Structure 1
Amino acid sequence: MCFILNGLQSQGFKRNTKVLENRDTLVKLGLLITKDLVNVNLSKAFDFMRKCYFNDIAVQEACSLNSLLMELAKKVQRARYEEFIIRLAEAYEGFVFYLPAFMDFRGRIYRSGILHFHERDLARSFILFSPNNQYECSKDHGKDFACAAAFKYKKFQTLDEAFSWYKEKKSVMYASADSLMSFSLNASDPFQFISKVLCHERFDLYNGIPMNQDASASAYQIMSSFLLNEDLARKTKIIPHPDGQIEDFDVSLLNEFQNFLFSEIYDSDKMKIIESKLDRKLVKTLFMPMIYGKSLISMADNIKEQYGKLLSSKDNYNLAKLCNEFMKEKYPDVVNLMKLIKLIAWVCAAKDLS
């Protein structure tokens, strides 16, 4: 394990200098917040906003004071975060930097610091692999770069589909100086999308590969390996799809969970409410951490955050219970293995075994 960690830490990275070539345009499009908000004194700004709100009847009728204050606080916080990340990235310019690695309690490897590839979209877009003798990169990898860029815009079923989409949209992205940034507004990860497109189109200038790393339902991948569960292995991409399609485990869970709810909830009106906000993001929030022991109360809180006043506290808790029931019915081997691991941990703790 030390050998693996040392190997990961020996990989150098460098700063991507091209993403913010047109920062003013990114601010104008709303992808970045203006840095004028960085030095705003929130206490004074709140006082000023309260006075303005009190003296403007039209604004009072349109929205609440609390929503305005919250929105301002979010904008200022986001501006400060973005400026911090940008200034940190600028400090790395011209240097090869290395990211210390460590393992968490689950055995997953993370990197220390703030500017790394476990961070948000903006931070990730600033990182490039620094060339070394371990790999050779050339224009022959152009299709790989194009596909990587396409997947940062939206999901595709196959690599060929992603590449075809990229070729089709290429003329739109480069119709004008600002068209790439405008086009990226609808991307799932706009800054990483911009980074990858620029790398693909300006390979000679970049001489590096944009950094992108994320887990793919890794806990369920491990479970499928332990249990030799072929169905789960296919859904988590351990076993390739025979047609070359790229499976999305979260979407698969969403569809299966929806079908389960239809069989368990007989109140059609309530089911319509649940279905209206039941999306991939919520399913991922609910089911991914279950492997690590996510509690019913925690799941109920996530559901409350998603549905707000549409569901009562009792409904939130009952829906969380249905999540557990779904897992027991659909993936009983996973649930049983989780229980076994917990029992082993209790015995080891009681016997003071390491």
Structure 2
Amino acid sequence: MPSPEAPRSVLVTGASTFLGGYLVARLAANPEIETVLAVDSRVPRKDLLRRMGRAEFLRLDIRRPSIAKAIASYNVDTVVHAATSIMEAAPHSAAIKEFNLIGSMQVCAACQRSPSVKRVVLRSTAMVYGASSKDPSHFAEGTAARREPKVGYGRDLLDVEGYVRGLARRRQDIDITIVRPQAILGPRINTRMGSYLSLPIVPTVIGMEPRLQFLHEEDALAAMEHAVLANRPGTYNVSGDGVVTLTQAIRRLGHIQMPVPKGLLAPITGVFQDLRSAKLRSSQTDFLTYGRVLDTTRMRTEFGFVPRYTTDQTLEDFIRRGSSSPVIGADTWRGLEHRVVSAAHRLVEV
């Protein structure tokens, strides 16, 4: 298959977020791309701005018509809507919902009116699948959610995906790529999952053992960059290989698990979380009760992307290079497990 033509002028929304900002830095380092525009209503941190190099930062609100003017002024041919990356750290609210929905509608409307736009890449999320006791073992891209999320970021991104698909129907000359990352972890990115796992005492739902997958922050960036450069239209799950249970993750971090009723998971977690942390919200309790595992076959065969880190390696890197300190060391856990197994063997012998 011949390599696709590299984009000439790329606009990335959400430049002040980790995923948006570092994606801008990667694209700006590519000499084949003539113009890279970083868009956000907030100015990125100084260190992130420096990393963006030759990229031009435009301070504007994507909910305003100014986004259309920027696309037209720079003859943008590729739009990356990564402003939805705000979901990694910011708690969901009515203001965030307005930002996601109104902002996405404005971006889609601007792309529809622009004759120069030929590609749109959306940073969606695996949260669109929801989580319930009736879920399949693996969610493929075409699998309908057994219980669609009614609130929170999952609901927002379901609607945003609908706007983007509507754009594709109205402008069939525009290629649409939707990337659905699994829960992102890494030593630098601040996510609600990372904040939750970093608690020294981690509340979990009594009697439940959710299966989890993780996507390393570097693989999340690489997947978005690949979506821009490879131009593979379609919808793609993106996750590291393998599965860990929540209990396994907590024990490997050396933290203490505290089983609680499901209805108390969010409020009790809030008690332990620092005010600066990314708060767990009730919309996440289903995920932490039932888990969610993605089928990544299309990621490899059609999207042509293979993550460097497995789920297990992502968790290990998060533990090794992150800021979380163990409450109970690995040797203590191994000793406890050895004693439990030895006791079980003695009972069998009796």
TM-score by length of 2: 0.29
Give the structure, 1 or 2, with the largest relative contact order (CA under 8 Å, sep 6 or more): 2
Structure number having the greater strand percentage: 2
The structure whose residues are more often helix, as a share, is 1
TM-score (normalizing by structure 1) = 0.29
